[in-house]
Amino acid sequence: MLNSETLRNIVQDHDRPVLAHLVDIRITDQTSPQPSSQSKEQSVASGSAATNGLGYRLEFHFTENEYFTNKVLSKEYDVR
């Protein structure tokens, strides 16, 4: 991440020890349609991302570390 000029400018000193454990970043296309029985409002209220065919998921894979127990942290985006 520090090789990217854009990302280098947003990574702060306190982020560096955590990022030392980052081994991979994966992106997954979230193109599966939302089930018709569930409304967009219900999906958003329940915390799951409603997909409209343009969403994606970022997965950050880490080695074992003292900062958190999960080896994978993820973030889903719904592009509207």
Residues 5-32: tens digit of each pLDDT: 898 899 999 999 999 999 999 999 877 5
Residue 69 Cα distances to 28, 30, 46, 66, 77, angstroms: 22, 26, 24, 8, 23
Q: Name the pTM for this structure.
A: 0.67
CATH topology of domain 5-77: Arylsulfatase, C-terminal domain (3.30.1120)
For 40-80, the pLDDT digits (tens) are 443 343 344 444 568 999 999 999 999 999 999 999 998 88
pLDDT of residue 53: 66
Tell whether the model's pLDDT for residue 38 goes beyond 90: no
